[in-house]
Structure 1
Amino acid sequence: MTDQPIRTIIVDDEELARRGIELRLAQHSDIAIVRHCANGREAIESVVDDQPDLMFLDIQMPGISGFEVLARLPQESLPMVIFVTAYDRYALDAFEAQAIDYLLKPINDTRFVQALDRVRGYWQQRNALSQREQLMKLLATTQGTGHVDEQTLRQYLHAERQPQYPQILPIRDDAGTVRVDVKSIDWIDAAGDYMCVHADGRTYVLRETMKSLEAVLDPKLFQRVHRSTIVNVSRVRRLRPHTNGEYFLTLDDGQEIKLSRSYRDRVDQLLQRR
């Protein structure tokens, strides 16, 4: 992490939305807010005058949309961008490809911290220029219309980059937020509306869905072995046949987990990895 804070502007026509992002950023000492912008015109002025490193940018704004803001800025002035939108027509593809970061309204705290971790990755690797070039390619497809159609964005995102996955899983508890190293996770199981994340002999409780966790975990390392269980395949030490095509998996710490029939195709994959 750099000694200099990541200078940030927040662009949204809704004051409550700007305030919500501000409150979340207050928990991150390496982020410094330099200006709030209530519309696209103010955003353009701020980028030129303040030269921020990062911009939270609402897509749907009256007058000048988020995409139009980017289209009107010189390439060399573009900061790193986290798009904010209330519409998820193409957000899932953007999350998976991670070519451009998206946050859906209402903002999920876990997603928010993950987006900041990606920003820090760009920041540390001095990779902002690469992102600017990708943004310019995307903007070229808008043809001055101020929006990108879903098919074009899907093609762009899947062609640009292979998925990358966060190395840290932020989990909130009564004392604050715990940053769990993803590689330290042994297995995850569902408990009602919550997920129990087992890592380094501890159990963390996360209010999330199995589907959303699968989306942020590297499938080369984590596999679903039951409708309510995800396993770190590097922890599997033994597969023991059970009944009706089911198996029991034994992990490094002796924990036994059932591999259900629905996931029998994972057996060969698990054996190959071990």
Structure 2
Amino acid sequence: MSSTIRAIVVDDEELARRGIELRLQSHPDIELIAQCVNGREALSVIDAEQPDLMFLDIQMPGLSGFDVLARVPQESMPMIVFVTAYDRYALDAFEAHALDYLLKPINDARFAQALDRVREHWAQRNALAQREKLMSLLAATRGAGSIDEQTLREQLEPVQEQRYAEILPIRDDSETVRLNVATIDWIDAAGDYMCVHAEGRTYVLRETMKSLAAILDPKIFQRVHRSTIVNVKRVRRLRPHTNGEYFLTLEDGQEIKLSRSYRDRVDQLLQRRP
């Protein structure tokens, strides 16, 4: 896959399209290949150009943004960043599996945060595609004697490592913090938000537990409760509690309950630590 992310903008408002176009000029790794004024034009461009990313207005005459997605074949679906003038559409956007959404008028810092999420997802997609390609090669040559199977398997390991995030972009007041994932101690859910605890600070991130867990390396970050993820490297002690539950004590003294259903998995990881 190319390192350049090919994007299109779909919006019936010329000023909105122009605004995204101008902002993308500061991000050379994202190439704007087309601008569409309605849903039908977008479907035609997606079919012809197979873009990697689509900035999609939700409210458009004719086909809405959700109508467009319903008509795009799954194999052609680009990464989606919804654009809307109404905050109430945000939840619908996430339910439609958008990477992010932007409120009009678009804030520059918020735009940069959305692009960071796009890049993280793009890196994961590239790594998975590379792994699938290698696996296909392995399957095609098994038993042919022309390729060393063990060597190929060793090549797959670094590909797996690359798919996990190293930087977590988090909106903090009027700026976006690029948080080094390695500094995270633990994460807990608070309603529709995630509280990320790192280096004595707490950052609030609009994300789901499932999607956040998917981008964190499971060798380091493990679910210890349905609403808690912990950095296993920070765990110092396990203290038994009632009904098979435990309390984990982190380096900073923080105690976190380890649910019985997650105990075996975390226990194994702790035993493997150097």
Per the alignment, residue 224 of structure 1 pairs with: 223
Between the two structures, name the one with larger relative contact order (CA 8 Å, sep ≥ 6).
1
CA contact (8 A) 1:103 1:112 kept: no
CA contact (8 A) 2:187 2:197 kept: yes
Superposed CA offset, 1:23-74 (max 9, x none): 49838944377756236xxxxxxxxxxxxxxxxxx999343534x325xxxx
Q: What secondary structure, in the 3-state scheme, does the structure 2 residue paired with 1:86 have?
A: helix
Per the alignment, residue 167 of structure 1 pairs with: 166
Distance 1:220 1:60 in 2: 45
- Stretches of structure 1 that go unaligned for 5 or more consecutive residues are 1-5, 40-57, 71-80, 95-99, 138-160
Deviation of the 1:214 alpha carbon:
1.1
* Residues 208 and 28 (structure 1), Cα distance of their counterparts in 2 relative to 1, 3 Å cut: farther
Per the alignment, residue 69 of structure 1 pairs with: 49
* Residues 112 and 33 (structure 1), Cα distance of their counterparts in 2 relative to 1, 3 Å cut: closer
> What is the total number of aligned residue pairs between the two structures?
203
* Residues 220 and 240 (structure 1), Cα distance of their counterparts in 2 relative to 1, 3 Å cut: same
Deviation of the 1:183 alpha carbon:
0.7
* Residues 248 and 59 (structure 1), Cα distance of their counterparts in 2 relative to 1, 3 Å cut: farther
> Which region of structure 1 is more displaced relative to structure 2, 188-197 or 110-119?
110-119
Per the alignment, residue 252 of structure 1 pairs with: 251
Per the alignment, residue 115 of structure 1 pairs with: 118
CA contact (8 A) 2:5 2:53 kept: no
Is the counterpart of residue 82 in structure 1 residue 82 in structure 2? no
Percent identity between the two aligned chains: 51
- The structure in which a higher percent of residues are helix is 2
Match of 1:14 among 11, 15, 34: 11
Distance 2:197 2:242 in 1: 27
Distance 1:255 1:193 in 2: 23
* Residues 238 and 32 (structure 1), Cα distance of their counterparts in 2 relative to 1, 3 Å cut: closer
CA contact (8 A) 2:237 2:249 kept: yes
* Residues 191 and 35 (structure 1), Cα distance of their counterparts in 2 relative to 1, 3 Å cut: closer
* Residues 242 and 62 (structure 1), Cα distance of their counterparts in 2 relative to 1, 3 Å cut: closer
Per the alignment, residue 203 of structure 2 pairs with: 204
Distance 1:226 1:24 in 2: 43
Distance 1:59 1:265 in 2: 52
Deviation of the 1:167 alpha carbon:
0.7
Deviation of the 1:120 alpha carbon:
8.2
Distance 1:210 1:16 in 2: 35
Is the counterpart of residue 243 in structure 1 residue 242 in structure 2? yes
* Residues 254 and 271 (structure 1), Cα distance of their counterparts in 2 relative to 1, 3 Å cut: same
Deviation of the 1:21 alpha carbon:
9.8
Is the counterpart of residue 103 in structure 1 residue 73 in structure 2? no
- Give the aligned CA root-mean-square deviation in angstroms: 4.5
Deviation of the 1:102 alpha carbon:
2.5
**Taking structure 1 as the reference length, what is the TM-score of the superposition?**
0.57
Distance 1:175 1:231 in 2: 28
Deviation of the 1:266 alpha carbon:
2.1
Deviation of the 1:247 alpha carbon:
0.6
CA contact (8 A) 2:194 2:204 kept: yes
* Residues 20 and 12 (structure 1), Cα distance of their counterparts in 2 relative to 1, 3 Å cut: closer
- Stretches of structure 2 that go unaligned for 5 or more consecutive residues are 55-67, 83-92, 102-112, 137-158
CA contact (8 A) 1:12 1:18 kept: no
CA contact (8 A) 1:11 1:36 kept: yes
